[in-house]
């Protein structure tokens, strides 16, 4: 299912004829399924988890794709979650799992971008409008799910002991409700970028729990990230 350009889409391979989105009834720009950074990152994570090395041919092509489509200031666009925070998490998790050298400049650019986008309250957030205006990438009120994605990204990149991660963890703990859940008013799920957003109610709970669990695991002297 890997496309010729080295990436993966959700349902098809090589479904990249963007001109189809220009026909009159394609108002959601959803007639194609091109490879994306987040899905390619997930595939790298899958391969790494099951023991494939970064010199495996499919991984080599995926890494080339990831590097090619990285934004100039470091992040990756997210297809299935809002938005660049989600995409950057998916990619960094994949790079770590496949054994990429995390000190490489292109990875450190992504890490630095995440750190710069942290809000004063310690969390992260990103508006859906970032799909229309890339200057809004990583900009928005802090949310539980997006804070968790940023934390998971930073921890994947070896930043578990950074000040930024500590502040993000404190944000999640301080916002947790007495029943163990988190509130989240903003939409952080993506149906069709720019046109159709989704509020997945499990996002606000499962991702913070994942982030806090991994943080606890890594800071209690255990090795590994999973």
In sequence order, which residues have a C-beta less than 8 Å from that of residue 140 and are 6 or more positions away? 125, 126, 127, 130, 146, 186
* Three-state DSSP class for residue 143: strand
Six-digit token pair at 144? 């539980």
How many other C-beta atoms lie within 10 A of the C-beta of residue 74? Answer: 22
Q: What is the 3-state secondary structure (H, E, C) of 173-218?
A: HHHCCCCCCCCCCCCCEEEECCCEEECCCCHHHHHHHHHHHHHHHH
Rounded CA-CA distance 54/46 in Å is 12
Strands 196-198 and 189-192: antiparallel
- The DSSP secondary-structure symbol of 81 reads B
Q: Which single residue is written with the structure tokens 């200031």?
A: 73
With residue 105 as reference, give the H or E element that holds it. helix 105-116
* Three-state DSSP class for residue 15: strand
Rounded CA-CA distance 174/44 in Å is 33
* Three-state DSSP class for residue 171: helix
CB of 100 closer than 8 Å to CB of 113:
no
Rounded CA-CA distance 4/16 in Å is 10
For domain 72-219, the question of CATH label 1.50.10.20 is answered with yes
> Can you say whether residue 222 is alpha, beta or left, with left for phi > 0 and alpha for psi between -120 and 50 degrees?
beta
CB of 4 closer than 8 Å to CB of 17:
no
- pLDDT tens string for the chain (226 positions)? 999 999 999 999 999 998 888 888 777 888 899 999 999 999 999 999 999 999 999 999 999 999 999 999 999 999 999 999 999 999 999 999 999 999 999 999 999 999 999 999 999 999 999 999 999 999 999 999 999 999 999 999 999 999 999 999 999 999 999 999 999 999 999 999 999 999 999 999 999 999 999 999 999 865 444 4
């Amino acid at each position: 299912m890997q496309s010729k350009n080295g990436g993966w889409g959700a349902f098809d391979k090589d479904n990249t004829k963007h001109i189809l989105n220009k026909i009159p009834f394609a108002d959601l720009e959803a007639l194609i399924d091109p490879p994306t950074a987040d899905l390619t990152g997930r595939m790298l994570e899958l391969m790494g988890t099951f023991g494939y090395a970064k010199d495996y041919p499919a991984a080599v092509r995926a890494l080339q794709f990831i590097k090619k489509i990285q934004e100039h200031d470091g992040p990756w666009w997210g297809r299935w979650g809002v938005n660049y925070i989600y995409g950057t998490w998916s990619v960094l998790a994949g790079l770590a799992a496949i054994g990429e050298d995390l000190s490489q400049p292109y990875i450190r650019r992504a890490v630095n971008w995440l750190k710069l986008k942290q809000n004063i309250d310690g969390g992260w957030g990103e508006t859906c409008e970032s799909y229309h205006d890339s200057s809004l990438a990583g900009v928005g009120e802090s949310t539980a799910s997006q804070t968790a994605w940023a934390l998971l990204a930073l921890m994947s990149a070896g930043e578990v002991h950074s000040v930024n991660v500590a502040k993000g963890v404190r944000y999640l703990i301080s916002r947790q409700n007495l029943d163990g859940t988190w509130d989240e008013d903003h939409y952080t799920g993506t149906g069709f970028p720019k046109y159709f957003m989704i509020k997945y109610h499990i996002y606000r709970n499962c991702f913070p729990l994942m982030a806090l669990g991994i943080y606890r695991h890594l800071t209690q002297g255990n090795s590994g990230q999973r």
